[in-house]
Amino acid sequence: MALFSKLGNYKNFGLLIIRIGLGIMFIYHGFPMLMGGVKSWEGVGAAMKYVGIHFWPVVWGFLAAAVDTFGGFLLIIGLQFRPVCILLVINLIVAALFHLRTGGGLGEAAHAIEDCIMFAGLLFVGPGKYSVDKK
The pLDDT of residue 4 is 81
- Residue 61 contacts by C-beta under 8 Å, 6 or more apart in sequence? 33, 40, 41, 42, 43, 44, 45, 46
Q: Report the residue count for the chain.
A: 135
Helix (H) or strand (E) holding 9: none
The rounded average pLDDT for each run of 10 residues, N- to C-terminus, in the chain (135 residues) is 80 96 97 95 92 93 97 97 97 95 91 97 95 79
Cα distance between residue 114 and residue 61, in whole Å: 21
Q: What is the pTM of this model?
A: 0.92
pLDDT digits (tens, 9 = 90+) for 76-102: 999 999 999 999 999 999 999 999 999
CB 45 within 8 A of CB 58: yes
- Residue 82 contacts by C-beta under 8 Å, 6 or more apart in sequence? 123, 126, 133
Instruction: Locate the domains of the chain by residue range.
Output: 35-125
Cα distance between residue 44 and residue 38, in whole Å: 10
